[in-house]
Amino acid sequence: MLLTILAFVALFPLALVGFLYREAHIDTRQALMSAAATVVATTVLAAVFAAV
């Protein structure tokens, strides 16, 4: 369970950056900022699920 959450936290921002960069045509800086925000959000969610 924990390994699945960690894999999701690691891979989801990469997929998000690729999607935003390709589909939304935003610049690299915006894509990286979005990925950083996603890492923070998914890490908080993973911590909440791990605590429950």
- What the block records as the tokens of 23 is 């589909």
Query: Distance (Å, rounded) from C-alpha 35 to C-alpha 43?
Result: 12
Query: Distance (Å, rounded) from C-alpha 42 to C-alpha 39?
Result: 5
pLDDT at 22: 73
Element (H, E) at 5: helix 2-19
pLDDT at 11: 77
The pTM assigned to this predicted structure is: 0.49
pLDDT tens track, the chain, 52 positions: 677 777 777 777 777 777 777 776 667 777 777 778 888 888 888 888 877 7
φ, ψ of residue 25 to 5 degrees: the values are 55, 40
pLDDT at 26: 66
Domain ranges in the chain are: 2-51
Query: Are the CB atoms for 47 and 21 separated by under 8 Å?
Result: no
